[in-house]
Amino acid sequence: MKIYFSGSIRGGQQDTDLYAELIQELKQYGTVLTEHIGSKTIDTTMTDQEIHDRDVMWVKESDVVIAEVTVPSLGVGYEIGRAIDMKKPIICLYRTINGKSTSAMIRGCSELQCFEYSNISKAKEILKTQLKTK
């Protein structure tokens, strides 16, 4: 199974360690195409168009998209929008921080599955339940 993991890059560096842990967990279910999301180093050798085209190709190739949607991100929202039109199964995970939840556009989209979680163990449980049937 090919997994596209999506998380905020420029806006969400505070969550990089969490992304890395989720990616590590996801690797037991398949190949994570976007392992770099869990790295604190941003690759600056690629142009924006190269990054865009590679990422859209990876979404196309993937069997499932897992998005961490706690931190607002244009890129993550964009990838979810594209993935919906590609009819990919999409699982969104988010935490509520200071009473702020994730976007209404994400929570209100019936074409994806959106789960709130409080800590990494809960996130792993959600992934287990969701991915064991895929």
Residue 86: closest CA among 55, 114, 107: 55
**Minimum CB separation from a copy of itself for residue 97, in Å?**
12
Among 14, 27, 39, 72, binds a copy of itself (CB under 8 A): 72
Q: Read off the tokens for 86.
A: 């590609």
Q: Taking CB under 8 A as the rule, does residue 89 contact a copy of itself?
A: no
Residue 64 or 76 with smaller CB distance to a copy of itself: 76
Q: Read off the tokens for 120.
A: 């990494």
Which residue's structure tokens are 């009819």? 87
Among 39, 57, 81, 125, binds a copy of itself (CB under 8 A): 81
Burial class (CB in 10 A: 0-12, 13-18, 19+), 38: buried
Residues that bind a copy of itself (CB under 8 A): 8-11, 47-53, 55, 69, 71-85, 100, 102-110
